[in-house]
Amino acid sequence: MAVQAPEAAPPPRAPAVRPRRKLTGYWLILPGALWLGLFFVVPFYSLLATSLYDPNGSVLGGYDMTYHFANFVDAIKDYWEPLLRSLGYAGIATLICLVLGYLLAYAIAFKGGRWRTLLLVLVIAPFFTSFLLRTLSWKLILADDGFVVDALQSVHILGADDRLLATPVAVIAGLTYNFLPFMVLPLYASLEKIDGRLIEAAGDLYASPVRAFFKVTWPLSLPGVVAGTLLTFIPAAGDYVNAQLLGNPNTRMAGNVIQDLFTKTSDYAAAGALSVILMLIIVGMVMAYVRTAGTEDLV
Amino acid sequence: MSSVADRDLRISKLTKEFATFTAVKSLDLVVPQGSFFALLGPSGCGKTTTLRMVAGLDTPTSGSIHLGDLDVTYEKPYRRPVNTVFQNYALFPHLDIYENVAFGLRRRRSPEVARQVDEMLALVELTSQARKKPPQLSGGQQQRVALARALINRPEVLLLDEPLGALDLKLRRSMQLEIKRIQTEVGLTFVHVTHDQEEAMTMADTIAVMNAGVIEQMGSPTELYENPATTFVANFLGQSNLIAGKIIGREGDVVKVQMEGTVVSIPADRAHADHGDGWVGIRPEKVLIAPAGQPIDAPGNHMTGAYVTDVSFVGVSTQYLVRMPWGQELMAFEQNTGVRGIIPVGTAVDVSWRPEFAFLLDASQDVNAGIEEA
Ligand SMILES: Nc1ncnc2c1ncn2[C@@H]1O[C@H](COP(=O)(O)OP(=O)(O)O)[C@@H](O)[C@H]1O
Ligand SMILES: [Mg+2]
């Protein structure tokens, strides 16, 4: 149209309008971009640099930039156990969160009725107390003379000398507890959007309630599943508080090692290398996961 | 009791009470197998609730639903040989058109899914859209997917809940013909819910007119139109002139009524009241008028002393309002045959209609019932 009738679109108008519209977009991006630049790109660059320092340097003597790529090999050699443990604990905690969180989000979304808002507030209520305090109180809950251990011992699930505190179970329990709301909220948001009439339509088309769930409800909730598992797994894999407060020296996760390397042994190069490795592993796993989950296909 | 081939849908004394409201009140209905049945009524009269109970999506408070000899009143929806075309289509947004249509077959592990889906998509002319997702289709196309998705299961009863309500007028008219064609082709029982009386009349073999949770009258479109049994049906299905009268009594095949100084005779099978007061009803196109003194080519009740108060020319016909000597305005629709020009406002006219076209209704019914809703 415009080609056939150039006089219909006077040339001076077009350039006046279009650049301004483009600029608006840049202005809107600017605050976020500055924030990310200052607090993500710069620190990340510095971390990357640290990971390539000469490992023989020290805080007092200073570090030399020697592009020492062997730091990465050394870090994996020395710390593959805590690395795997991080991924394993985070993975198990994420799975438990998914099961518990899905049931909870489903119940709130479909059976919550007028209590929905209250129930959602209860889900995030733990955030009103500090993360550290809540994790410390799990120490009391799982203590050797606490009611949980007593109860499990009385039904002989735990032996008389078995304990929960300072075991992997306690660390995973702590991770599950602390990150459950991050699972529930995106799941709820997805489930709540599902039109109940679609589930009725599935029933009308010969799907039993169980099949209707797997053919309609579950696929439509996948965006929430993906978001929830990412929001749970990523921080859980990098967490060190739960392992430190609820675990023992044999349950150390990558986060604990990094913390020690930075703050106790001041081995900055190794700490940096381990941080970068953990980050790359998580990014790689997330990308593979999002690709298989195929969220871009979902509505 | 009945033959094996008898798969009529029989609803008896069906009632649905919600917390504070009775949506369906002791409803009785028989839908013959293979028929195109319309459930017609104004919004909120309980049509969707009735369909949902037949589909098994709502549990009746009391009453029963039978398919032939099979009692399905409390059968789970996924075990009923009944499918629904939902009011808002309810297509699965995560599945493409092909999988939406195949959904019911796959749940029942039906053989030859591909062939059946291809045939069904061809029937509704959507073959080229098979791999698109529902939101990518137009309203009319989504409507056809919803129809195909239900129809492919060859249900004993197909329920359609205002399936054309979201379409514009032109598309609605063509889809009416389309659905009617498909029903004739597949020969299944269709129960079509609508609040559009024209739609019900064009499509259905049998119409049940529903009002406030009860069936007012059931019959073929012509029966309902020509011989309405209640003021609601008389007003909701087309338009009617209702004139107050006193019933004198039955004489042979007719019921005599004293109506504003004239005695009119109404065929007994069109009289739905036999004593006391009554409404004499006559459809506007049956009312003939002519300038005072000129002959009217219909032998019948002849009334003089009227005059024209309003004329609207609508092309195929002219619609007159005529004030009768007793003060009431009657509607008279005249075909635009060109035999006579338009009679201007203020002209004194005589009014007549054939007595066999009139009907008689119970005067206890609200004369305005169904007018607002139509
Ligand atoms: N779940 C429900 N709870 C309470 N009232 C309802 C419910 N569903 C429908 N109703 C009421 O029942 C009446 C009939 O509704 P419906 O069958 O949807 O009417 P229609 O389909 O004829 O428009 C309406 O007045 C509606 O408000
Ligand atoms: Mg409805």
Residue A156: inside a domain? yes
Would the CATH topology of B9-226 be identical to that of B303-351? Answer: no
CA distances, A92 to each of A26, A170, A172, A237 (Å) = 42, 12, 7, 11
In the chain, the amino acid numbered A270 is A
pLDDT at B222 over 90: yes
Q: Which residues of B touch A (CB under 8 A)?
A: 55-57, 76-79, 82-84, 86, 88, 90-94, 103-104, 107-108, 133, 135, 149-150, 153
CB contact under 8 A, B86 and A197: yes
* Apex B153 CA angle, B151 and B154, nearest 5: 70
Interhelix angle A218-238/A168-193, nearest 10 degrees:
150
pLDDT at A235 over 70: yes
Which range marks the domain in which residue A243 is found?
46-293
Tokens of A61: 């003597």
Ligand nearest to the CA of B52: 1
Residue A82: inside a domain? yes
Tokens of B150: 């239900």
Residue A228: inside a domain? yes
Classified as helix, coil or strand, B303 is strand
Query: Is the distance from CB of B310 to CB of B344 less than 8 angstroms?
Result: no
Domain boundaries, chain B: 9-226, 239-284+354-374, 303-351
Query: Is the distance from CB of B153 to CB of A205 less than 8 angstroms?
Result: yes
Residue B89 CA to ligand 1 centre (angstroms): 18
CB contact under 8 A, A205 and B107: yes
Number of structural domains (chain A) is: 1
Query: Is the distance from CB of B165 to CB of B17 less than 8 angstroms?
Result: no
Confidence of residue B1 (pLDDT cuts 50, 70, 90): very low
| Residue B335 CB neighbours (<10 A) | 10
CATH code of B239-284+354-374, in short, is 2.40.50.100
Residue A28: inside a domain? no
User: In this predicted model, what pLDDT tens digit does every residue of A5-22 receive, in sequence order?
Assistant: 444 444 444 444 555 667
- Topology (CATH) of B303-351: OB fold (Dihydrolipoamide Acetyltransferase, E2P) (2.40.50)
Compute the residue count for chain A.
299
Return the percent helix, strand and coil in chain B, to nearest 5. Answer: 25, 35, 40
- For residue A193, give the CATH number of its domain: 1.10.3720.10
CB contact under 8 A, B90 and A195: yes
CB contact under 8 A, A201 and B86: yes
pTM: 0.84
* Alpha-carbon gap, residue A132 to A245, rounded angstroms: 9
Residue A181: inside a domain? yes
* Alpha-carbon gap, residue A84 to A91, rounded angstroms: 10
Ligand nearest to the CA of B86: 2
User: In this predicted model, what pLDDT tens digit does every residue of B266-279 receive, in sequence order?
Assistant: 999 999 998 899 99
Give A-chain residues touching B93 at CB under 8 angstroms.
Answer: 198, 220, 299
User: In this predicted model, what pLDDT tens digit does every residue of B253-301 receive, in sequence order?
Assistant: 999 999 988 899 999 999 999 889 999 999 999 999 999 988 887 677 7
| Residue B140 CB neighbours (<10 A) | 17
Residue A24: inside a domain? no
How many Cα atoms sit within 13 Å of B305 on the Cβ side?
A: 9
Give the pLDDT of residue A295. Answer: 57
* Alpha-carbon gap, residue B342 to B127, rounded angstroms: 53
Residue A30: inside a domain? no
pLDDT at B333 over 60: yes
Residue B88 CA to ligand 2 centre (angstroms): 10
Residue A130: inside a domain? yes
Residue B44 CA to ligand 1 centre (angstroms): 6
CATH code of B9-226, in short, is 3.40.50.300
Closest CB from A197, A207, A298 relative to B78:
A207
Q: ipTM score here? A: 0.85
Binding site membership of B49 for ligand 1 (Cβ less than 6 Å): yes
